Chains A and B, each alone.
Chain A
């Protein structure tokens, strides 16, 4: 009956103490300082808190800490090594898949897990798989197109190599 739980987080062995029913979302954001997962509804409806638990997309607002003992968790921060960006992330940024960005970490992780099962998904497969991750800004069309560009089903519209410095907002 330990109150300290060990799990793999973004590839690293991690140990966290806390109440057994603490929400994984709160553990990530408050105890571990990983604020990439967002709280949009607190009830598993919006998917903004989505992380990968043993490679499956789950809502971290619905996962109690004591159940992640021994598990492997991936958050948006662990998608790519520090300073790098995966093709999926990049195509979201260049093809309009992200507007306000609040759904974006959850959306990217959900789609990452979709792509593991369906490397070249149809829109119907995307609709079914991603229906638990809500976006209010894009109307989803540019999210479809970003995935289609990534999987070679559509030509890009974004000018990906235009020279714009990252973090230009100061």
Chain B
């Protein structure tokens, strides 16, 4: 007989957390694996009712998203589409309605799938992850959150409390995802791009993040450096695409091929730069 907790506050959750109970958010990945493998859990902790993990609000220079926010909550909130449409655009492509109504941003982060659609958006937005446990609270920049394939800095006694997007958020936010189908598609390549508004036909504070092309979502720093401050042009777009293709190491798998992923990752970056260039010169 397994134990279960459904605490209403972090304080109530401490005992369960300290005992290493399995944290259950939307369970949209968890139950699939449990059912397929017959896996059992000795103790489970429902994080969805914990007050500190709920709610989406703007406070000063932070957009604070509760880790228990579903992707539907994120899409429907007044604040996220306004400041972080990269994240709402990503949320709109996750699974379909039934998944978005249950899957949470905290779960997406903790699950740490290389193909997690919201994750490149968080990287490009420079998000901070607020992590809490019996031993206190800490804020981890999202780009330091992953330590390897499906591994994060989370200790078993910790949970993700909130996701912070520093404000003002980047003016340019572009999300692109390639799946096979129009919906319910695990991504083959997912791109999150952010920068300041173009100034004198150049971009600054460029962040280019990608998922599904490495063991974790990553930022392509070399390509960012190429674009940073450079005058937007057809040549720059082509160079950026070539550099993307050169630097990423995608794989062949059941969904797609390395060659296609490589091409499409480059093509998406090329196109978004061309579109930005066009918007400046037209």
Q: Which residues of A contact B (CB under 8 A)?
A: 1, 3, 19-21, 23, 42-45, 47, 50, 53, 56-59, 61-64, 66-67, 69, 110, 113-114, 127-133
Contact = CB atoms under 8 A, between A and B. Distances in A.
B72 A21 contact: no
B2 A42 contact: no
Contact of B28 (A19, A21, A62, A114): A62
Interface in B1-38: 1-6, 24, 26-28, 31-32, 34-36
Contacts of B27: 62-64, 67
A131 B48 contact: no
Nearest to A66: B4
B24 A57 contact: no
Contact of B97 (A43, A53, A61, A131): A131
Given A21-B44, A66-B44, A59 B98 contact: yes
B98 A128 contact: no
B32 A43 contact: yes
A170 to B, nearest CB: 36
Nearest to A56: B101
Given A19-B1, A64-B44, A128-B183, A110 B98 contact: yes
Contacts of B44: 20-21, 64, 66
Contact of A62 (B5, B31, B182, B183): B31
B46 interface: yes
A64 B28 CA distance: 10
B95 interface: yes
Interface string B165-201: 0000000000000000011100000000000000000
A124 B35 CA distance: 34
Nearest to A109: B98
Contact of A132 (B4, B6, B24, B97): B97
Contact of A131 (B24, B34, B102, B183): B183
B35 A42 contact: yes
A114 B72 CA distance: 13
Contacts of B92: 128
A21 B31 contact: yes
A59 B99 CA distance: 7
B41 interface: yes
A69 B6 contact: yes
Contacts of A57: 97-98, 101
